[in-house]
Amino acid sequence: MKNLKEGFESICIRDVDNDNFHAHLPPIYATSTFAYKDLDRAIAYFKGENQDYMYSRLGNPSNQAVADKIAKLEAFGISDENGEPIQAYGQLFASGMGAIAAATVGLLKSGDKIITQGNLYGTTNELFTSLLLDYGIETIIFNLKDLEHLENTILNDETIQMIYIETPANPTLQSFDLEAIAIIAQNMGIKTVVDNTFATPYLQQPLKYGIDLVVHSSTKYLNGHGTGISGVVIGKDNSLVNGKVKNIQKMFGACASPFEAYLLNNGLKTLALRMDKHCENAEKLAYFLKNHEFVNHVNYLGDIDHPDHLLAKDQMKKYGGMLSFEIKGGFENSIQFLRNIQFCTVTASLGTPDTLVSHPASMSHAKMDKMQRLEYGISDGLIRVSVGLENIEDIVADFEQALEKLNV
């Protein structure tokens, strides 16, 4: 397609033909090792003089093809200061947590500090507040809404080397001003990392706002079908993505399987279509829940009463397929609500075609200190919903019958 600009949906669907047999879909390179017919090229590889494939822990064509595609999606429509399209780079990991670990540990050293929010994905919170301490990396939990305080804090502590942001946040859907935070970080000479799992590049592109690295649990919306586990790191700086980040992947053995890459690539082909429907259904379910007498409040960015609605409207294309809501009656009623669910699926994941319902207090955030959890808005009665692609009337009917059976 020379001289033609590809749209977002076309990038999702089309594949680079790097196969000698011109397969319609990229083949799965299910091999541990790549052979050399030319000994001189093999010797040159080990000298670092070429970028050939040698061993799948160090690189695999199946993995790189899908990482490059996601990088193109994150960079889609973004221009540099000269009006030229930006180039983004990607590395595929064995899981979202593998990607997050590489994007943080790969850029930090003992004695450094990370600033992040309190309402994070439970395992990310555990990584930051527990495991990284063993590496001498301290995490500062911070109100990222207070930009003046953020700037002053970084200014007065030269050991702060990174701001890590999850927006929209899991599970409260709180959102943060990426452009404002990126400007502060750039002025202070520190790195920024954004978890874009909830939004996907179809709805939000952190690179557009000056963020250094974007991470995804591509297990979720990017795969879209719950068929595999993977993660990805994307960035504009080749020396970061294919240098420090890739080195962690290589040394820690966090590379994805080429089979996972194949499943992820197939899922990406319908990303735009799926996200449109996820968003449409989430809006309708949020409206139903907001008006239900057994619901205290709904966290949904498309709701004009949500405190971050205007920010999301400016920063995102649509409001996403995720929402959470608080049931009256606290812990016991929220557990009973899940027991009452008949049509939807009770599980802790997200981003699949079917509607997934979970209870963060007893599932994804069960290991978090209760007082800390409550402080971050994750109450005992909070239910998180990944709104699926089913007929919306079926989803609403299931929620309605599950709520009506509660003792409120």
Q: Which tens digits make up the pLDDT trace of 248-287?
A: 999 999 999 999 999 999 999 999 999 999 999 999 999 9
Using DSSP bridges, classify how beta strands 191-195 and 213-216 pair: parallel, antiparallel or unpaired.
parallel
Number of neighbouring beta carbons within 10 Å of residue 44: 14
Q: What's the maximum distance between 2 C-alpha atoms anywhere in the chain?
A: 75
Helix ranges restricted to H, 231-378: 238-239, 246-252, 258-268, 271-290, 309-315, 330-340, 370-375
What one-letter code names the amino acid at 144? L
Q: Is the Cα dihedral 281, 282, 283, 285 positive or negative?
A: positive
Residue pLDDT, tens place only, 360-377: 999 888 888 888 888 888
pTM: 0.95
Residue pLDDT, tens place only, 173-194: 999 999 999 999 999 999 999 9
State the burial class of residue 173 (Cβ atoms within 10 Å of its Cβ: 0-12, 13-18, 19+). buried
| Same fold across 8-268 and 272-404 | no
- Please give the pLDDT value at position 46: 85
Mean pLDDT value across residues 42-67: 91
Q: Give the architecture (CATH level 2) of 272-404.
A: Alpha-Beta Complex (3.90)
Q: Among candidates 348, 98, 308, which has minimal Cα distance to 204?
A: 308
- Please give the pLDDT value at position 1: 45
pLDDT at 64 over 70: yes
Helix axes 258-268, 61-74, angle to 10 degrees: 30
Domain definitions of the chain by residue range: 8-268, 272-404
**Average pLDDT of the chain?**
95
Give the integer Cα–Cα distance in Å for 218 and 198. 10
Q: Among candidates 364, 196, 271, which has minimal Cα distance to 9?
A: 271
pLDDT at 326 over 60: yes
CA angle 61/242/67 to nearest 5° reads 40
- Please give the pLDDT value at position 42: 86
In words, the CATH class of domain 8-268 is alpha beta
Number of residues that make up the chain:
408
Task: Assign 2 a pLDDT band (cuts: 50, 70, 90).
Answer: low
